[in-house]
Structure 1
């Protein structure tokens, strides 16, 4: 038997024995060393990282995961867990040593329990987000977290990265939506706390150790998630404002007027809108004329507030006009118009890629500081690197924007990203830290930002993270080279 990273190199007897035992444990559906079957899962979604793996394991039950992890611990085999392979920071991609086992949770897709009255669902880690949406909707409920990769992102991956999305303003990130958790520890023991309790003071909330840990503390196998009433009516509003500071004032106005009905508040500059209109030939600008910034607002209601939602939105925007908080606005008249507005927002990233190379930063600063941060730092970057364009777009309501720096016309985009791009990212992260922010708001650390976290992270916080890691995984077998 040979390794996948070098088909001509003989493996050690210990490695061969591990592969034989793992294959016997999981069977042909659950274990393979076929390079063709592994190849699609060895490169991250963005195409930045490509690694090698000893084999691909696809257990179908928590018991199989536990037995496999125990076997890996016995043989000293590192494990790289993977959900939908749609992460943004290379957190689910193995290194190039070829010595780690790639562990896929994609076969674990069962719904173990669905309690409509309690608005809770217990499902396994491989359950795809879009399927979760459809399952909840079929019972008159919804899972209030969505993102662009919902067709491939899995529950386990969302938990491991503490994913956010466009509805964090109202519902929070995955950390707020996970009521219970099941995970396999690095020694093969099963941590099971799936039953949610409103009050439980038996020590630490241990499930939080695994949420956002990127598979470095254990492997999430199932979760109990909070659901919400289905949306009976929604109104999407597109507004034009002169500055990001004015967008912030409009946010405060909408929060006061709409309360919990305010589901999303996204911002994008005029340059982003123009890039999308060039990219999508059938797209149309929602407003006449140009505006410094554009705001996408979503307000929703369940059955109890559906009849009056549109009237309340009209009053909210009329009051905003009277207070001179915006220059123009358009309100969706139907679902088609609402979806067309959201399509513009969701097409910013592919439109940007079509323009050429850029370095992307997923950052957050305190919400009240975000307008000043963007308006202060963007000119600094463009002056320091002439020809670049610094743009910010995203979730102003929760202080998280995607802060991208687009390259000038270059002949070798990859070389620019590897050289100047890294210098720019380091500078952006320095600025974010100075402003009291985070270098990773919702995409995780993975391998992309590991060195930057070590450089800029609070030393005390990092020491606590390392202490927990050492306690749970003293041999460093869980997703090595990621996060910490």
Structure 2
């Protein structure tokens, strides 16, 4: 089947208005938010339901044309950038199919914007806890495909833990209907876990059954000033030990992170009078109406025990939102300071402070004037270890050092039994890094799964999986050879010029 015949076939079923081929219509789908990579596509199709997704995938499979699914296209690692072929936009699959209060579940289509899922749960008196800075534009299918984390992982878990069932279009166009709201089901392999976090390389998620939770009766938010990352870790342990899962957020920020937010975010107000080496944004949720009084008492005890230097408790919802805005605006304001080399990593919670100390010292020693902006979710060990260019340095010259800093940061993560990919996924930017850090047996199993579910390699080709290396190809302890374009940085010529 020729490309023209494929386009005509898709247009006949989906409607010509939903098969986009004009360059201006296709262009918004060729790069993600950060613009590190720019791809190409034969067409963008916009199916209205699962049957049309299945039809499009089946026809592309017949023509041996690759497909990549896109939701809100808010990814950060190049996972949604097309490498030719057809982009399947799931934006029209945006229905809330059912919500069951007794089951505490909601069944939604993959194109639902995350904020809409939250709203539907809220209107039913329940809570869907997944929360991200991009929740007004990211879509639930992409959240599941990348196993998104967000700020509430501490209490509720990643997207994987929030998923009970899935509907998935397979590489040959068949539909696996696993939309079951069961809390227990041991009838064979739990197939949904193959697709959550697979970044569209094994199948295209079209709908999901998600867990809902009781809404807290009250929430309290506070901002802490701390002496160091170690003090922040100790404060986290202190609070968690006293309130357990009711500690729903503990977000860490270094001094530099707060400084740039205050410098570039309109209307931002310094939350504490003095300067501190580190800060934490804390949220306590309670089934009782007195979360504020409880958190106030905990903070007083923490300061008295010299576990925190200062703290402020939000006295209203508006003040709480203002404190959260300081944290949620961090990714946005970094671009105002120049180029940013980003690492989304995880280490065991007990080793977070050690990682921050070692990685910060190593990066500062490697480049004079580099500014470390390491922030994130202390409670689950996920740190966004970002590096901001030295003042006055050429942006592109700084970004060219990405592979060198990857080696520094990722080696330390690996030594601490961590992961080089925490919540943003692997995509393109970390694909070849897996050769150095992923267990060769695990890589072999990943390739076998890919070959079984997508034998022609048509689903999101080139993402997640590095070139195949079998366990016997390397001697014990031997690292894979360096390859041109490896190291996890965008390859030369791949940047679109947008801010990193």
TM-score (norm 1): 0.94
> In structure 2, how many angstroms separate the alpha carbons of the residues matched to 1:300 and 1:201?
33
What's 2:301 paired with?
319
> In structure 2, how many angstroms separate the alpha carbons of the residues matched to 1:336 and 1:39?
39
Deviates more, 1:280-289 or 1:360-369: 280-289
Deviations along 1:25-46, one digit per CA (max 9) or x if unpaired, are 2112331212221111111110
SS at structure 1 position matched to 2:343: strand
> In structure 1, how many angstroms separate the alpha carbons of the residues matched to 2:305 and 2:81?
50
Q: Residues 358 and 421 of structure 1 are in contact (CA less than 8 Å); yes or no, is this contact kept in structure 2?
A: no
TM superposition shift of 1:427: 2.1
Q: Residues 254 and 279 of structure 2 are in contact (CA less than 8 Å); yes or no, is this contact kept in structure 1?
A: yes
> In structure 2, how many angstroms separate the alpha carbons of the residues matched to 1:463 and 1:87?
26
Deviations along 1:394-443, one digit per CA (max 9) or x if unpaired, are 111110111011212345312321x2222212321122112211111100
Return the match for 1:483 from 455, 464, 470: 464
> In structure 1, how many angstroms separate the alpha carbons of the residues matched to 2:120 and 2:403?
42
Q: Does 1:347 align with 2:332?
A: no
TM superposition shift of 1:196: 2.2
What's 2:449 paired with?
468
Q: Residues 391 and 404 of structure 1 are in contact (CA less than 8 Å); yes or no, is this contact kept in structure 2?
A: yes
Q: Residues 240 and 327 of structure 1 are in contact (CA less than 8 Å); yes or no, is this contact kept in structure 2?
A: yes
TM superposition shift of 1:133: 1.3
TM superposition shift of 1:232: 2.8
TM superposition shift of 1:243: 1.1
Return the match for 1:366 from 340, 348, 362: 348
What's 2:429 paired with?
448
| Unaligned ranges ≥5, structure 2 | 466-500
> In structure 2, how many angstroms separate the alpha carbons of the residues matched to 1:282 and 1:24?
51
Deviations along 1:337-393, one digit per CA (max 9) or x if unpaired, are 101111111122222211111201101111000101111221111112222122311
Q: How does 1:302-341 map to 2 (within 5 A)?
A: 302=287, 305-306=288-289, 308-341=290-323
What CA RMSD, in Å, does the superposition of the two structures yield over aligned residues?
Answer: 1.3
Return the match for 1:268 from 225, 229, 253: 253
Deviations along 1:255-287, one digit per CA (max 9) or x if unpaired, are 122222111001111111111111124222111
Return the match for 2:180 from 167, 189, 195: 195
Q: Does 1:15 align with 2:3?
A: yes
Return the match for 1:87 from 68, 75, 97: 75
Q: Residues 30 and 60 of structure 1 are in contact (CA less than 8 Å); yes or no, is this contact kept in structure 2?
A: no
Return the match for 1:297 from 269, 274, 282: 282
Deviations along 1:195-249, one digit per CA (max 9) or x if unpaired, are 1222222121100000000000010000000111223311101111101111111
> In structure 1, how many angstroms separate the alpha carbons of the residues matched to 2:268 and 2:63?
56
TM-score (norm 2): 0.91
Deviates more, 1:108-117 or 1:272-281: 272-281
Deviates more, 1:382-391 or 1:212-221: 382-391
Deviations along 1:422-477, one digit per CA (max 9) or x if unpaired, are 22123211221122111111000011111111232111111111110010001100
Return the match for 2:438 from 457, 463, 470: 457
TM superposition shift of 1:483: 0.4
Return the match for 1:431 from 382, 387, 412: 412
Return the match for 1:111 from 83, 96, 112: 96
What's 2:264 paired with?
279
Return the match for 2:34 from 33, 43, 46: 46
What's 2:477 paired with?
none
TM superposition shift of 1:319: 2.1
TM superposition shift of 1:69: 1.1
Q: How does 1:206-225 map to 2 (within 5 A)?
A: 206-225=191-210
Q: Does 1:71 align with 2:59?
A: yes
Return the match for 1:159 from 144, 154, 169: 144
What's 1:382 paired with?
364
| Unaligned ranges ≥5, structure 1 | 1-12
What's 1:182 paired with?
167
SS at structure 1 position matched to 2:432: helix
> In structure 2, how many angstroms separate the alpha carbons of the residues matched to 1:185 and 1:280?
44
Deviations along 1:45-87, one digit per CA (max 9) or x if unpaired, are 1011111100111111111111211111111010011000001
> In structure 2, how many angstroms separate the alpha carbons of the residues matched to 1:448 and 1:323?
44
> In structure 2, how many angstroms separate the alpha carbons of the residues matched to 1:361 and 1:371?
16
> In structure 1, how many angstroms separate the alpha carbons of the residues matched to 2:330 and 2:108?
32
Deviations along 1:83-131, one digit per CA (max 9) or x if unpaired, are 0000111111112xxx310110000011111101211110100000011
Deviates more, 1:348-357 or 1:49-58: 348-357
Q: Residues 109 and 127 of structure 1 are in contact (CA less than 8 Å); yes or no, is this contact kept in structure 2?
A: yes
SS at structure 2 position matched to 1:451: coil
